[in-house]
Amino acid sequence: MTSTDSPTHRPGRLDGKVALITGAARGQGEAEARLFAAEGAQVVLADVLDAEGEAVAADIGERARYVHLDVSQEDDWAAAIAATEEVGPLSVLVNNAAILRFTSIADTTLEEYLQVIMVNQVGTFLGMRSAIEPMTRSGGGSIVNISSIDGIGSKNSLVAYSSSKGAIRSMTKTAALELGQHRIRVNSVHPGGVFTPMNGDISKKMLDAAHSQLALQRSAMPEEIAAMVLFLASDEASYCTGGEFVVDGGWLAGDINPFLPGAPPAPARA
């Protein structure tokens, strides 16, 4: 009797699947990689942060391996797909890698704008394109593109980031229409207010305070976004494609006005 035949074995939601996750060395991508492996997937973590990525893969154990991948480079994608295929047929791709720059439109140089576009937008395009042939050959799969609530709305200082995330939102729908015939599902996830290294040296408590106007009155942990990505990667989402799945604590629903009825009590002062 194998371990998977044991009466104590709980079938994972991704048993038998091979997943490639970009930007997996830390933050949200790391949370996705750890959750996927815990749910039975063989996971290939990809990033440009090689030392961090190798360490995460080693910590996950036998279900994980790491490959270097600059998502803006076609040759890197070919190598990453080949490395993934050594593990098994590609069935899940999570286009998670992204960078963020805060600059006003007037102060954004073309070089700065294109840096964000190349990683976030072009990286997602190259990832989807690279996955078509291996997923089609293996009978289908799931592509999950990480967009943002800033791909639906925006904020000042985010001209490059919002442009890239809005493009991901639209590309996802085009891809869903083209790839459904190959049994490849394509969906976008739109997080908001997540506590990751992308926020810099801010503490979770400070980030929560900055999100106190939201319905849930706090920021999210990466694992909460990973749970949505897991659902879309799994067979539970077999009739979901072309969709946009918001995980934002109620951000897009609106802001709590503390001066109007229905607002929660103000926190007690220390």
From 66, 113, 161, 239, the catalytic residue: 161
Query: At 269, is the secondary structure helix, strand, or coil?
Result: coil
User: Angle at Cα 37 formed by Cα 92 and Cα 59, nearest 5°?
Assistant: 130
Q: Residue 76 in contact with residue 69, Cβ under 8 Å?
A: yes
pLDDT of 199 = 78
DSSP summary character for residue 243: -
Nearest-angstrom CA–CA distance, 188 and 165:
10
Q: Residue 73 in contact with residue 123, Cβ under 8 Å?
A: no
- Domains of the chain with bracketed CATH: 12-251 (3.40.50.720)
Q: What are phi and psi of 118, to 5 degrees?
A: -65, -40
Rounded (to 5) percent helix, strand, coil in the chain: 45, 15, 40
pLDDT of 97 = 98
pLDDT of 165 = 98
pLDDT of 2 = 44
- The edge-to-edge listing of strands for the beta sheet with 244-247 is 64-68, 42-47, 18-22, 92-95, 141-146, 184-191, 244-247
> Beta strands 64-68 and 141-146: pairing type?
unpaired
Nearest-angstrom CA–CA distance, 42 and 19:
6
pLDDT of 200 = 79
Q: Is 239 tagged catalytic? A: no
Nearest-angstrom CA–CA distance, 166 and 115:
16
Residues 6+ apart with CB under 8 A from 205: none
pLDDT of 8 = 57
Residue 185's identity, in one-letter code, is R
Say if residue 165 is exposed, middle or buried (CB neighbours under 10 Å; 0-12, 13-18, 19+). buried
pLDDT tens, N- to C-terminus, the chain (270 residues):
344 444 555 679 999 999 999 999 999 999 999 999 999 999 999 999 999 999 999 999 999 999 999 999 999 999 999 999 999 999 999 999 999 999 999 999 999 999 999 999 999 999 999 999 999 999 999 999 999 999 999 999 999 999 999 999 999 999 999 999 999 999 999 999 999 888 778 899 999 999 999 999 999 999 999 999 999 999 999 999 999 999 999 999 999 999 999 999 877 555
Nearest-angstrom CA–CA distance, 57 and 218:
30
pLDDT of 9 = 54
